[in-house]
Amino acid sequence: MILGRVCGSIVSTINHKFYDNKRLLLVDRLTIAGEPSGKYIIAIDSVGAGAGETVLIIDEGNSARQIVEDETAPLRSIIIGVVDQINPTT
Amino acid sequence: MILGRVCGSIVSTINHKFYDNKRLLLVDRLTIAGEPSGKYIIAIDSVGAGAGETVLIIDEGNSARQIVEDETAPLRSIIIGVVDQINPTT
Amino acid sequence: MILGRVCGSIVSTINHKFYDNKRLLLVDRLTIAGEPSGKYIIAIDSVGAGAGETVLIIDEGNSARQIVEDETAPLRSIIIGVVDQINPTT
Amino acid sequence: MILGRVCGSIVSTINHKFYDNKRLLLVDRLTIAGEPSGKYIIAIDSVGAGAGETVLIIDEGNSARQIVEDETAPLRSIIIGVVDQINPTT
Amino acid sequence: MILGRVCGSIVSTINHKFYDNKRLLLVDRLTIAGEPSGKYIIAIDSVGAGAGETVLIIDEGNSARQIVEDETAPLRSIIIGVVDQINPTT
């Protein structure tokens, strides 16, 4: 899993019914220091993540399909959690 | 999922019947700022994407097979949407 | 599989029941020389790995699901071992 | 899928019967401009690709197994087409 | 598939029974010119590869599970061959 920050949304015409009424978010991947990297991923949201929030993303089709409870979903990347805190070990 | 811009097409002799009459597009991956990166992916098209259009690509075999509704398709990358707008959060 | 060093933990609100009471660790990937690379992965722990320990991570959904013995787990990355020694061949 | 150029072959002793009489090719991945990148992939050939030819490679296990029509094949990367032309959009 | 050179071994305590008596090798990925790259992978060995040998690695779970003939193995990376020769095309 990876950490990201929600930095935008995508408006796209997708014909597959799975994407009806799904929000597509633009997520900037975070570095280990918690800073935006400029590398991104487009993910759907399963937790109501808002702009600027730090999120946890899983990027694997079978996992994403389990989260949405739809084994036929054409889906790879999904936000599964809002990150409350990153605790470095020192 | 990733964002790309259609920048060409590939003419290739593929023997597998799945590829009969399929368009193979050369898609330049976009940066988070929406600019071409020079990194590319070859994808089939499921939405009638045209040259120069910004598209949404899913790069996972099982998802791609769901989109084409053929569980035996030898396929990993497919254009699933034309992007109308990228809305940055500011 | 890859080598990493546990360098933190993540506090996140995840709604899926699989993540109830699971520790999410921030793991710095190690270079071939055994040094932290600054590239990381978020993994769950299956071995009681502690802060600063060198660990072995498997980053594939089906493998991770075998380790937790739950074929429906939305999971890709898991710590499967604590590394006692890296023996270079010279 | 990705584009590559056949730049060599590998002689290897593999015990699994799937690899009996299979040619293992060294393929240089091409840049978006069609130039060799120095990054490579080892793939089996399904189309009789020759040295120096530009090829289309699919790098996903389930797709590769569909091409060889053997669902038990330990295989991830396979050449599925010879590229006749790359048409840039201008 | 990728080429690597065996450059070490890992001693790790893994609780899953699949890893009982399995050798975990540290393998330096080779460049297209056959030189070590400093990027590595941890793989199990299925061919008795020795230190310093050039090997062929497959890095996909389902393929690896076919090689070990255990569909429940939590495994992604496996050495499937010792490379006798790399023949560049000139």
A30-57: per-residue pLDDT in tens? 999 999 999 999 999 999 999 999 999 9
Is residue E88 domain-resident?
no
Kindly state whether residue A87 falls inside one of the protein's structural domains: no
* Predicted pLDDT of residue B33: 93
Q: Where are the alpha helices (DSSP H) in E1-90?
A: 61-67
Is residue C31 less than 8 Å (CB to CB) from chain E? yes
Q: Check if D83 contacts B (Cβ < 8 Å).
A: yes
Indicate whether A88 belongs to any domain.
no
Residue E45 covered by a domain: yes
Label each residue of chain C as H, E or C. CEEEEEEEEEEEEECCHHHCCCCEEEEEEECCCCCEEEEEEEEEECCCCCCCCEEEEEECHHHHHHHCCCCCCCCCEEEEEEEEEEEECC
Question: Which letter, b or e, does each residue of A38-70 get, where b requires 16 or more Cβ atoms within 10 Å of its Cβ?
Answer: eebbbbbbbbebeeebbbbbbbbbbbbbbbeee
Q: In chain C, what residues touch E6 (CB-CB under 8 Å)? A: 89
pTM reported for the whole predicted model: 0.94
What whole-number distance in Å separates Cα of residue C27 and Cα of residue A71?
A: 30
C in contact with A (at least 3 C-beta pairs within 8 A): yes
Residue C88 belongs to some domain of the structure? no
Confidence label for D15 from pLDDT (cuts 50, 70 and 90): confident
Report the CATH number that the domain containing residue C7 is assigned in CATH: 2.40.50.220
Read off φ and ψ for residue B60, nearest 5 degrees: -155, 130
Strand D54-59 to strand D77-88: parallel, antiparallel, or no bridges (unpaired)?
antiparallel
**Which chain C positions have a beta carbon within 8 Å of A80's beta carbon?**
14-16, 19, 74
pLDDT of amino acid D73: 97
Does the complex come out with an ipTM higher than 0.85? yes
Which chain B residue is nearest to residue A24, measuring alpha carbons?
B1
Residue B6 lies in a domain: yes
CA dihedral D62, D66, D70, D76 (to 10 degrees): -40
- What total of structural domains would you count in chain D? 1
Q: Which domain does A44 fall in, by range?
A: 2-82
Which residues in chain E are contacts of D8 at CB distance < 8 A? 86-89
Within a domain: D35: yes
Predicted local confidence at residue C90, as pLDDT: 62
Q: Are E47 and D15 in contact (CB under 8 A)?
A: yes
Q: Which alpha helices (DSSP H) does chain A contain, by range?
A: 61-67
**Cβ of C31 under 8 Å from any chain A Cβ?**
no
A26 interface with C at CB cutoff 8 Å: no
Q: Is E8 on the interface with C (CB under 8 A)?
A: yes
Does residue C23 fall inside a structural domain? yes
Residue A46 touches partner C, C-beta closer than 8 Å: yes
- pLDDT higher at E90 or D3: D3
pLDDT score at A38: 96
Shortest Cα distance, chain B CAs vs residue A40, angstroms = 6
